[in-house]
């Protein structure tokens, strides 16, 4: 069991994502289930694995502000200010998403996006060239696993590929979730 992922494995994962496959991978917060956030078929698989209604939105990950601009029509100035100063993983809910799978977007036409700081996630997204879904590695309604060893067999057997990285890592802190209101104030959804 390795704590580093080589370029060959990153290339394999990017190829699997391109083929609408699902992956189980460590994010900059908790272990997540991921797929191509622009592919409706792949996103549907995530909802099936999670046993979750498609009406509940998912978080997606991008590697940079530049990539973020491809998937949100207008990034509020307040969000950009916050992203410049934030040192902790923070997901921001944006209005009017674009170029994403319809079933990854919330019913109120918003999307939750996090710019990753984690080296592995950033490298994977850069290689893939598109955003990936990041939803906690649990069946909907069950507790979020704090480590790989806590992930249920149901999840392990449902995904197409499991990343062999950070299997011993403990993390019990999901990302902070914020929404920028129409008045430009920051609303904390999850601290």
pLDDT tens per residue across span 43-86: 999 999 999 887 677 999 999 999 999 999 888 888 888 888 77
Share of the chain above pLDDT 70, in %: 92
Digit-coded pLDDT (tens) for 118-145: 788 999 999 999 999 999 999 998 988 8
Please report the domains of the chain, with CATH numbers, ordered by start residue.
7-190 (3.90.870.10)
The whole-number pLDDT of residue 5 equals 62
Does the pTM exceed 0.95? no
* Higher-pLDDT residue of 187, 18: 18
Contact in structure between 92 and 113 (CB atoms under 8 Å): yes
Q: Pick from 40, 45, 59, 3: which is nearest to 160 by CA?
A: 45
State how far the Cα of 175 lies from the Cα of 90, in Å rounded to an integer. Answer: 5
């Amino acid at each position: 069991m390795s704590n580093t992922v080589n370029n060959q494995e990153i290339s394999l994962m990017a190829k699997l994502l391109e083929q609408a496959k699902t992956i189980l991978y460590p994010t900059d917060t908790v272990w997540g289930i991921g797929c191509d956030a622009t592919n409706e078929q792949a996103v549907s698989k995530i909802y099936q694995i999670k046993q979750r209604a498609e009406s509940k939105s998912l978080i997606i990950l991008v590697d940079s502000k530049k990539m973020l601009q491809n998937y949100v029509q207008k990034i509020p100035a307040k969000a950009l200010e916050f992203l410049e100063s934030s040192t902790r993983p923070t997901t921001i809910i944006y209005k009017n998403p674009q170029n994403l799978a319809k079933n990854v977007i919330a019913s109120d036409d918003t999307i939750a996006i996090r710019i990753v700081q984690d080296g592995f996630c950033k490298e994977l997204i850069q290689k893939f060239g598109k955003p990936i879904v990041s939803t906690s590695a649990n069946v909907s309604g069950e507790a979020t696993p704090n480590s790989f060893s806590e992930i249920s067999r149901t999840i392990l057997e449902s995904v197409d590929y499991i990343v062999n990285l950070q299997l011993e890592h403990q993390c019990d802190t999901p990302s902070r979730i914020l929404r920028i209101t129409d008045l430009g104030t920051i609303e904390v959804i999850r601290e």
